[in-house]
Amino acid sequence: MRIDIITVLPEMLEGFINESILARAQKKGLAEIHLHNLRDYSTNKWRRVDDYPYGGFAGMVMQCEPIDRCISQLKAERDYDEVIFTSPDGEQFDQHVANDLSMKGNIIILCGHYKGIDQRVRDHLITREISIGDYVLTGGELAAAIIADAVVRVVPGVIGDEQSALSDCFQDDMLSAPIYTRPAEYKGWKVPEILLSGNEAKIKNWEMEQAMERTQRLRPDLLEK
Ligand code: SAH
């Protein structure tokens, strides 16, 4: 899949998209992430992309034209399944949205800044608006990073052991069971006996019981879904 991120702060995302799993996914040819500096699409010599809001409100607003020029250029090169705007009033991002987006071919993520973007961009160019939580960030870059990370992570083949992504928290609206590694005993802290038993059926059962107990205790709201 291909993700195009439009931002006024590409430097902020440069390091992030070229590290760890995102870097590996790109090297394996399973994902491509491209950054576009919105200022390159400004029509004035100061490379400005914002202006004062109509109505005398406080803050600066990102203008239609640079955003339209950037999105139009991308759309001329290929078809996009979604043009996403990161926004605190958007649909709440969760594992279901991440799974859904991971099945798309090409998506654009537009990062807002300042007070936000001209409403006409949202009305005419954006197909989906996503919030990463009920708090306000200074810009959409962290939201775009979170979305790209969670989405690319579930693209088949990106995580070596595929089972590993599927057994993560939230994949079935459940929290995960606890996990352990060697040694079997450390400072007298023991790994649950059952995990050392080699009995696959019993271990699977234990894992399900643990996941259910944790979900009931910590996130009963997930079970109501
Ligand atoms: N005035 C806006 C907030 C602007 S914050 C309002 O009241 O809704 C500046 C930009 O940061 C936003 O345009 C958006 O792109 C990004 N942003 C802030 N909080 C976010 C969140 N919780 N989820 C996703 N993007 C967010």
What is the pLDDT, as a whole number, of residue 162? 66
Residue 120 Cα to ligand 1 middle (Å): 16
Q: Does 105 lie in the same domain as 180? A: no
Q: How many domains does the chain have?
A: 2
Nearest residue to 151 (alpha-carbon basis) of 27, 56, 25: 25
Take atom 22 of ligand 1 and give the residue whose Cα is closest.
Answer: 88
Report d(CA 223, CA 225) in Å as an integer: 5
Residue 225, pLDDT > 90, answer: no
In this structure, are 25 and 132 located in the same domain?
yes
Among 111, 136, 142, name the best residue to mutate to test ligand 1's pocket (greatest count of ligand atoms within 8 A of Cβ).
136
Same structural domain, 190 and 117: no
pLDDT at 17 over 70: yes
Task: Evaluate the CA torsion angle 12, 141, 65, 106 in order and state its sign.
Answer: positive
Q: What is the mean pLDDT of residues 186-213?
A: 98
Could you tell me which residues are beta bridge partners of residue 25? none
CA of 7 to the centre of ligand 1 (A): 13
- The string of pLDDT tens digits covering residues 118-152 is 999 999 999 999 999 999 999 999 999 999 999 99
Q: What is the pTM of this model?
A: 0.95
Kindly report the number of other CB atoms within 10 A of residue 104's CB atom: 14
15 and 120 inside one domain: yes
CB of 110 closer than 8 Å to CB of 83: yes
Per-residue pLDDT band for 212 (boundaries 50, 70, 90) equals: very high
**pLDDT tens, position by position, 39-80:** 999 999 999 999 999 999 999 999 999 999 999 999 999 999
| Residue at 40 is within a domain | yes
Q: Quote the mean pLDDT of the chain.
A: 96
In ligand 1, which atom is closest to the CA atom of 89?
Answer: 8
